[in-house]
Each structure stands twice: as structure tokens, then as C-alpha cells.
Copies of this chain bind each other. A is one copy, B any other.
Amino acid sequence: MIILDMSDKRPLYEQVRDRFIELIEHGILLQDEQLPSIRALSIELSINPNTIQRAYAELERNGYAYSVKGRGSFVANISGLLPERVKDFYNELDALLIKAKTCGLGPIEIKQHIDEYMGN
């Protein structure tokens, strides 16, 4: 479920965090489902429990999970996060479109690529 890439320049805790965000956003992990325990996952991935702890803390901070002492960590209700994620998407898209301009790419080529990629 989680795969670490030691050659990735991102810190391990970000890799773990982002992988869980992906799993939650794609609906593979459902609301209130229990995440692997910090200790179990740290053994499975052969990394320190503190690193998992940090990843889980960030998931909680970003609204993707909640944890209860003595019980475990669980997937949060993420329905409230959608507007924020849409806003994020458009911000990133705008940044990318600036780059497109400096490559000589116009709206027509980009839109065509989108149709090919997402289907129209």
C-alpha cells in the first residue's frame, strides 16, 4: 500500500503523508477506517516510528485523519476539504499556464492535450 523511494529527494514523512492523501482522496481508504498503527507501519516500512508519527500528525493537521490516544488513527470526513482542493488546483494550474506561455504553447494546444488525456 505504501512504497518508499529512498532516492526521492522528498523527506520520508512527506512521502508517507502524500501517499495516504492519495489513498484517501481516491476513496481507497474510507471515512473512519483505521490507518495502520504507527508501530506496525514503521516495522513494515523499516523506518522509525517517529517518522510515521510525523506523517500522521500532518495528515491530522490537514484534515485527512484524526487520531485517538490508545485507540489508533482513522480517516477523517474529508467532504469539507473539497473547495480548498479545487482552489489549490486552479492556483497550480495558473502557475503552470505561465510556464506554458514561455514555451510558446497557447490555449489551443493545451486544450487539445487535455481532451486526449481526459477524454472529451
Which positions in A face B, CB cutoff 8 Å?
A: 6-7, 11, 22, 25-26, 61, 66, 68-71, 74, 76, 82, 85-86, 89-90, 92-94, 96-97, 99-107, 110-111, 113-115, 117-120
Known: A93-B96, A97-B117, A114-B111. A82 touches B103 (CB 8 A): yes
User: Measured between alpha carbons, how far is A6 from B29 in the docked complex, in Å?
Assistant: 18
* Copies of this chain: 4
Interfacial chain B residues near A111, Cβ < 8 Å: 111, 114-115
Mind listing 27 A-B residue pairs with CB under 8 Å?
A6-B68, A6-B74, A7-B68, A7-B74, A7-B76, A11-B69, A82-B103, A82-B104, A85-B102, A85-B103, A86-B103, A89-B96, A89-B100, A89-B103, A89-B105, A93-B96, A93-B114, A93-B117, A97-B117, A100-B118, A106-B118, A107-B114, A107-B120, A110-B118, A111-B114, A111-B115, A114-B114
